[in-house]
Homo-oligomer: A and B are copies of this chain.
């Protein structure tokens, strides 16, 4: 058992997770980041204490954070969604609780959920890739999460691929997530339509990743071009990651993974084209099992993957 918190930009979700990865009890509160760090810390403590009422003997508390932690995992160095910079979250929570609190990047938490109970169960090395507004990653090698000496490992969304027509929010040009996220799909389709390319998509409506993927499945040439482009860059990135750490399996999660096998088959094909040893060293690539609950389940199980 463990308590897992998923600290999102709009909602803070907390759950009591059993040893089979099932959420026994879940509580949500709105994230009111405009109220500042100390108020948000109070909200977080209230939520944890509420969960502890139902699991008073629980000693494991893990928190998934959509941001960058320090190398030792104690400090939230940067979390734009919460407007946090260098906050001593671990220390501040532990000062007011009797339990140990551990922090983890949210994509890594999702990777833990998959490794502990989901699509990568039983593998000692696995890489989670989350495709959403951006591209996130979580890497487990020899059964341990890889957080990096400066806490910035598996920032795979910022691997530089090649020049792109728009720059990344991080300030660089060419980041993977400007080619392989929902944002990338939308930007690419809009750019092509502005150049006069015809499509069943219109620039009028609020485009999102799901609309583009559905249009691609329905045969719209531009949407299909955009999805194929995404798969190409993701396959390229996966091949390069395999050249560095050679995980046994990749699992694809995040909002765009709803595209299912339609997208998965494309990613597999594009990866295979670029692997250095396609004859004898081909990683499995699968879809993640958990969705919105991944962060809580992973955070609750963090301790045994540290």
Contacts and interface: CB of A to CB of B under 8 A. Distances in A.
A240 to B, nearest CB: 5
A242 interface: yes
A68 B148 contact: no
Given A149-B125, A149-B283, A160 B245 contact: no
Interface in A119-150: 123-125, 137, 139, 141-142, 144, 146-150
Nearest to A153: B246
A158 interface: yes
Given A156-B243, A160-B236, A141 B146 contact: yes
A152 B240 contact: no
B148 A246 contact: yes
Give the secondary structure class of A's interface.
loop
Nearest to A77: B280
A92 interface: no
Nearest to A142: B144
B139 A245 contact: yes
A239 B245 CA distance: 15
B150 A277 contact: yes
B172 A276 contact: yes
A137 to B, nearest CB: 8
Contacts of A147: 246
A144 to B, nearest CB: 6
A169 to B, nearest CB: 11
Interface string A50-83: 0000000000000000001000000001000000
A159 B137 CA distance: 18
Residue among A148, A151, A172 with max Cβ neighbours from chain B (10 Å): A148
A195 interface: no
How many chain A residues sit at the interface, stated as a range, is: 35 or more
A239 B277 CA distance: 23
A276 B149 contact: no
A239 B153 contact: no
Given A141-B141, A144-B142, A274-B172, A240 B149 contact: no
Contact of A240 (B139, B141, B160, B239): B160
Given A170-B276, A236-B160, A276-B170, A150 B281 contact: yes
B248 A159 contact: no
Residue among A144, A151, A162, A276 with max Cβ neighbours from chain B (10 Å): A276
Given A141-B146, A245-B245, A152 B239 contact: no
A144 B125 CA distance: 14
14 contacts: A139-B245, A141-B141, A148-B281, A149-B246, A150-B246, A150-B280, A150-B282, A152-B242, A152-B281, A153-B246, A155-B243, A156-B243, A159-B240, A241-B244
Interface of A: 68, 77, 123-125, 137, 139, 141-142, 144, 146-156, 158-160, 162, 170, 172, 175, 236, 239-248, 274, 276-277, 280-283
